[in-house]
Structure 1
C-alpha cells in the first residue's frame, strides 16, 4: 500500500481493478483506494501476473503493507506470502503443490471458517482456489443448527423489526446477513401481511408520522448505502460547517463583457498543448487578487490551546471544487496570487483532469485558504454553498447568461452577465467586509486593468 502523503497511515481498498491471475503492465492501475482526503489508483510497479492478493475490497490497510504480488511467468510466491499449515487447515503440513493452489486470502478465510479446502473447487488459473471460491462454498454449505451468520447491526435491526434471521438470505461475504437483507425481509413481510387495520390504528396512521428511526419506516428500501471514504468525510465536514459556522450570504451580478474579452485574448496567445482559458480561470485570477486586498477572507478559523484563532496565511491557496463520481473534491492551486492567467488556467486544468481520473495526491487537496465552486456549466444561475472548514468563505459562481441592462447613459443593451454569491463565516467576517471584497472582485472582473495598476 503506497504512502501518498506525509501524514497518511492507512488506506481503504475500494475495489480491485485487476484480479488474481490477470496479466498487468507496469503503470497500469490495479486497485482503487481511498484515504480520508482523496480517492487514488494504485499502479502496477512492474509487468507480470497479479497474484497473492492479501486484502479484500472494503478492508483498511496500513501503508507500506504488501497488498498483492506481481510474478513473472514460472515464478512462485515468496515464502512470506505462503500460508502456514495452520492457515491452510489443521493436519499434515501442506505440500508445495497444495500451497500453490490456494491464495493466501482464501487460505486464511478457510482456516477461520473451518473449511476443508479439498472440498472446494478452484476457479483461478490452473484450478487455484481463490477467496470467491471459499465464499461460494460457505454460502452453499448449510449453517450449523441454531447458528445464523449476521453482522451485529443486522441482528439489532432484526430484533427491532421482529424479523426471523433464520428466514433471511444473506448477501454479504460468506453469506453473512447485512442490514439491507433485514430491510428487504421486513418489507416482504409487510407486503404479505393482511391489510386489516384496527380503527384506532387506522386513525393514527391517518396522521402525519414523525419517523425518527429506520425501524419505523414501512416503505420498502431499494438500496441501503453506507457512507464510506470520501462520501463519509464530505458528510462530516459539511455537517460540521453547517452547525458551527453561521453563514452570511451576499450576491452580486457581474457584467462579463471585459472578462470574456480577456479570456479570448488569452486563448489567442496559447501555445500548442496549453489548455484553453476558462471563465473559472479568469474568476480565479480576479479572486486571488481581491483576496490579497481583503486577507480576512483568506483565512482559517481554528481551535488552539489559547482558544479559537483566526490564522491569515501569507499566500492565497485557491481551492477549485470538482464534481467526481464519489462526490466532491477540492484540489488546491497554491500561491495563486503570484501566478498569471495562463499559469492558473494550466494548473486548474491539470488538477481537474487528475481529480476526475482519481490521480490526485493528498498534498493536492490540503491547505486551501478559499474555495471557488462553479455550477454554471449545469445551467445554475445562482446558488449558495457551504464553507469548507477551516476556511471562512466560499464563492459560488453561476452560469453565464444574456440579460438586458442599461448602460451608464441609460441606453438599453444585451450583455453577458453571471452571478457571484459569497458565503462567509459571520463569526469572523462582517457584512461590510464581505461586501467590500465582492465590490473589488466585481471591479477586477469588469475592469481587469485594476489588477496590474
Structure 2
C-alpha cells in the first residue's frame, strides 16, 4: 500500500520547512532509509529518508516551497501500484517541473556525489541498468570535467546542478558568471544575480533581496525576542592573564599528545557551564506560564554563516573537560559551515555565548535566543592599563583585558541574580583553579 512521506518536525518550535531539492525523482526506485529529499529549517539543512522501499510517486512540493510540518509531500508506492483514491495527485507545480525537466535515473549515491562536485547529471553518461547513472559514471564525469577543453586551455565551469538548470532556462553562459560558492563554484543565486545586471545604463541604487530561508526565520525570531522579552544588560571587564597562561600550557601539552588545541571560547564554555550550576535561574527557559530550570548546562555557541547565524549546542558541558569541549566545538563549527549539522546538534540549548572578539569588536550586546533566559556577548582581548591592588599599595600594569556583556530576560530573573552569576564567571576566568572545587 502507498506509504505517505511526511514533512517531519525536526525542532520543538518548528512550524515549516523549505524544500531544497529532491534527491530521488518521481517514478524512481528507492529503498527504505535512503535519502529522498533535502529540506532546510531555520537552523539546519537535512536529508529526509524514505519511510519505505518502493517507487516514489505523487510528489506534492517543489524546491524553494515552504511546507508546514506533518504535511504529506509524496508517496512511496509498490511496483505497479497507483495512488489511492484518498491521496492527492501530484501537484500542478510538480507536474510542470517534471515536464520541463524529465527525471534522470541515478542511484542516490551518484546524486549526492554529483551535488557535492557540482556535476550536472544531464551531462553524465549512463552505464547502469536501464540507463541509470552510477557512482562510477559520476567519477568518470569528474575525470572528464577536470581535463582542459581541446583548443581552449580552460576546464569545465564548476557549477551546482541548480545553477546549470537556471542557466539553461535563462540562456546564461556559465563561463561569464562569477561563482560565489565554495572553491568558486557557481550557484543558482549567482546565475540570477548575473542575469539581473543591466547591460547598459547607470548602476541601480539598490538591490532588493527577499528574506528567505534561514534569514527570514532569524528575522522573525529576533524581532519576537526583542519585542517580547524585556532585556537587561550587564557589562564587566575581566583580566584574561590567567586564562591565556592556562591556554598556552594546555596547548603545549596538546601538541605532545596529538589532541585538539584549546581555544578561548572553549574555556569560556567550561567556565559558564560551571557557573550555571550554581545559578539555575540563569540556566533557565520560559515556556508560557512556566520557567524550566535546567539541570545540565547545554551551552550554545553562535556560529556566523553566509546565510545567517546558527547556534550548535555542547551538551552537559559542566561534565566535560576543556580539551573535549574544544574538540566538540571545532567539529560543530566545521559541520555548521559545511551545512551538515544534524537536528540534535542545535536542540536543547540552555545558555548561549556569542564571541565577536576575532573580528576586533570591543563590546556589543546580544539579543536573547528564545526561549533561553540569558546570552553572553564576548569582545576581543586587548592590552589595557589596570590598577592592581597590593599590600604595598596600588600600581598600574598592562594586562590582557576582555569585555563581556550579559543580556537576560527580566521576566525570568532580576539584575542582582544576573550580576552574581557574572561575578562568578569573572572570578573563575581570573582564577581558573576555582574550576577544581
Q: Give the TM-score, by structure 2 length.
A: 0.62
* CA drift at 1:449: 1.3
Mark the CA change 1:355 to 1:138 in structure 2 (over 3 Å): closer, same or farther.
closer
Mark the CA change 1:393 to 1:109 in structure 2 (over 3 Å): closer, same or farther.
same
| Distance in 2 separating the partners of 1:327 and 1:358 | 12
| Distance in 2 separating the partners of 1:17 and 1:343 | 35
| Distance in 1 separating the partners of 2:306 and 2:373 | 27
Unaligned 5+ residue runs, structure 1? 21-28, 45-52, 69-77, 82-86, 89-102, 112-122, 141-171, 173-180, 192-218
User: 1:286 aligned to 2:286?
Assistant: no
Structure-to-structure mapping, 1:19-418, within 5 angstroms: 33-40=39-46, 56-60=62-66, 106-108=97-99, 222-270=206-254, 273-303=258-288, 308-409=289-390, 410-418=394-402
CA contact 2:9–2:15 (8 Å) conserved in 1: no
Secondary structure, in 3 states, of the residue corresponding to 2:376?
strand
Stretch moving more, 309-318 or 55-64: 55-64
CA contact 1:3–1:9 (8 Å) conserved in 2: no
Mark the CA change 1:428 to 1:125 in structure 2 (over 3 Å): closer, same or farther.
closer
* CA drift at 1:132: 11
* CA drift at 1:223: 2.8
Stretch moving more, 233-242 or 425-434: 425-434
* CA drift at 1:346: 1.4
* CA RMSD of superposed structures (Å): 4.8
* CA drift at 1:228: 2.3
CA contact 1:109–1:134 (8 Å) conserved in 2: no
Unaligned 5+ residue runs, structure 2? 27-34, 51-58, 83-88, 103-121, 132-160, 172-187, 189-195
| Distance in 2 separating the partners of 1:242 and 1:43 | 37
| Distance in 2 separating the partners of 1:292 and 1:131 | 48
Secondary structure, in 3 states, of the residue corresponding to 1:316?
coil
User: 1:428 aligned to 2:412?
Assistant: yes
| Distance in 1 separating the partners of 2:426 and 2:11 | 39
CA radius of gyration, larger in:
1
* CA drift at 1:362: 1.0
Mark the CA change 1:256 to 1:135 in structure 2 (over 3 Å): closer, same or farther.
closer
What corresponds to 1:208 in structure 2? none
Mark the CA change 1:42 to 1:417 in structure 2 (over 3 Å): closer, same or farther.
farther
Mark the CA change 1:132 to 1:327 in structure 2 (over 3 Å): closer, same or farther.
closer
Q: Give the TM-score, by structure 1 length.
A: 0.60
Cα deviation per residue 1:73-92 (whole Å; 9 max; x = unaligned)?
xxxxx7679xxxxx99xxxx
* CA drift at 1:428: 2.2
| Distance in 1 separating the partners of 2:274 and 2:123 | 59
* CA drift at 1:288: 0.8
Secondary structure, in 3 states, of the residue corresponding to 1:319?
strand
* CA drift at 1:285: 0.8
Cα deviation per residue 1:357-401 (whole Å; 9 max; x = unaligned)?
111111111111110000000000110000011111100000011
Across the two proteins, how many residue pairs are aligned to each other? 330
Stretch moving more, 9-18 or 225-234: 9-18
Secondary structure, in 3 states, of the residue corresponding to 2:281?
helix
CA contact 1:397–1:418 (8 Å) conserved in 2: yes
